[in-house]
Chain A
Amino acid sequence: MKLLKALACTSLLAAATFAAPAVAQERIALVVKSLGNGFFDAAARGAEAAAAEIGGIEVIYTGPTSASAEGQIEIVNSLIAQNVDAIAISANDPDALVPVLQRAMDRGIKVLSWDSGVAEEGRMLHLNPSDTALIGETIIKLAADYLPDGGDVAILSASSTATNQNAWIAAAEEALPTMFPNINLVAVVYGDDDSVKSTNEALGLLQTYPDLDAIIAPTTVGVVAAAQVVTDEGLIGQVNVTGLALPSEFKQFIDNGASQAVALWNPIDLGYSAVYLAHALVGGQEAAPGATFGIGSVGEVTLDDSTSAAMAAPFTFDASNIEEFSQIY
């Protein structure tokens, strides 16, 4: 009995030491889909860089262990209680987070979404990493560039409810008939951004479609799983894996030939820009359609009619530059 109490006490005291007593004038929370994801860790580094440039800003980098809307709501509740100045969130669900983010705004907290958006009524502005249509086109182009005679491709996505992946896939399907008439999209499967599930789904694709020419995974978890499966099954040169990947995690598969090229925007810039935007909102700038925000060294963005903005176009990594970028993120 005493052991339990002692355990509870010591654990809480241990936890208490996590609380850095740093006092900054402005606290900006960077809420991500899930922790332990290289993409978001890179974004957090960018956010820290922006905070250091601006000065007087404390970045709270946080997110749930599993990518769920309920987990993010618990985190937003605790951020509201901490009375942070701004919340910049990459949402697991565009709708479920709206009520709690509205409550945050009611309590005077500035709210913006980045990467994966929240419905308009739940945030002041949204920062897209790139243009949805352009990404959809890019992920098909990455496969098509190496299939001059056309072929069968399949998409391995994140969860079936992920906002951004679904938008890209929709854009890709739109681009297919006009821009890539000889590319045939045979299936879209969902690996839930879970390594094991993604691996199983990739294996399933290879078994169901023996003539598959490329797997396109517009998610950093799925693309690694798919490339690993192609490597393990000895299908290098037969099935090309491509999609959106972190250079540092994916370098080995460019090196071994399981993939010809992948693309990604710069997550460091994304976290960096999110902090600049949050700081501008805290400073009183209005997020109205047409408003222009400076985002430090990245440049500036202009809000469209749905108060969202696009940061930059995705950047392609292949054998020529993967080494250099794998050192960065």
Chain B
Amino acid sequence: MSEEARTTRSIPDRLDGRLKSAVLSWPSLLLAVAVGVFILNSFASPYFLSAWSLSDATFNFTEKALIALAMALLIISGEIDLSVAAIIALASTMMGLALQFGVDTPGLVLIGIGTGLLCGMFNGALVTGLGLPSIVVTIGTMSFFRGISFIVLGDQAFKGYPADFAFFGQGYVWWVISFEFTFFLFCAVLFYFLLHRTTFGRQIFVIGNNPTTARFSGVRVERVKFILFCLTGLMSGLAAVALTSRLASTRPSIAMGWELEVVTIVVLGGVSILGGAGSIQGVVIAAFIMGMVTFGLGLLNVPGIVMSIFIGALLIAVIALPILFRMIRERRA
């Protein structure tokens, strides 16, 4: 009895022991797939292996990957935010609106990030304050946020962003390394430490595995979830700054349908859609795979619909595999 009391208990950040080995190897498996895709792409198209091509390719997924980092944490905690693309639209619209009043670049960036944060707080308050299911709340706010954009803009566009604002989505830090991409790598490291090296990160896993246990263990479940919604809103705001800068304009249809692409990256990265398991490494590699697959197929001028089929198949395989794996293991046991 006393022996047991002295033992430090640790709460596993994986679903169970048998799955442990599979999940542990997930990022490395993804890495192997990524390398495979890279090699195949280099053979399939003579244009793939060029510094500028690879640099251009990163623009296709960087903004989505930025949101995927925060979305991963949210999904691990057992919640989801489907309003992220709508937050981009609203944040971009607010920046455009501010532009009409002569706000300069630092102000525009602050307004974009601030709008994202406010949207995240709104989602978080509805989910944690009123105890509503996040999927319902964020489907609602998805229409609500984008609806505001449509009311403000109608069929018009905001354009004429200042020249130095273009740096966030079009600028290069050094040679072919874009600012966007550098910023994404920086955020990826931050999120890695947040999820895998802090108490807060451990709490996210505990909540995802069993919110009741977490509550009885002294974890402030609502507070953690609220912070995660804010974080997702904040990252959406940052993505809005990057995308608005890259498009040099704002329309209410901006980033339409991106929420599902973000969730795809997260799930492909090995984050359990039921919560409780996942890693930032996996999500980052999944973003690269998605980017390289779509760019590689683009270089071969493969029609978009074939690309969607391919990505759909990849996603189903990724979700089905761990379950199949567990079933086989259980049958053997």
Contact = CB atoms under 8 A, between A and B. Distances in A.
A159 interface: yes
A96 B247 contact: yes
B298 A74 contact: yes
A58 B326 CA distance: 51
A7 B52 CA distance: 29
B190 interface: no
Contact of B50 (A11, A64, A81): A81
Contact of B36 (A5, A60, A63): A5
Interface residues of B, number: 64
Contacts of B308: 65
A15 B297 contact: yes
A15 B257 contact: no
Most chain-A Cβ atoms within 10 A of its Cβ — which of B60, B296, B301? Answer: B301
B315 to A, nearest CB: 11
B301 A161 contact: no
B40 interface: yes
Interface of B is mostly: helix
Interface stretch (B3-11, B12-20, B41-49, B217-225): B41-49
A69 B246 CA distance: 12
A190 B301 CA distance: 31
B247 A5 contact: no
Contacts of A63: 304
B36 A69 contact: no
B56 A18 contact: no
A66 interface: yes
A225 B308 CA distance: 25
Contacts of A7: 313-314, 317
B152 interface: no
14 contacts: A1-B25, A1-B325, A3-B317, A4-B33, A7-B317, A12-B37, A19-B44, A19-B45, A64-B304, A65-B307, A66-B256, A77-B60, A78-B299, A99-B170
Interface of A: 1, 3-5, 7-9, 11-13, 15-16, 18-19, 35-36, 60, 62-66, 68-71, 73-75, 77-78, 80-83, 93-96, 98-99, 159-161, 166
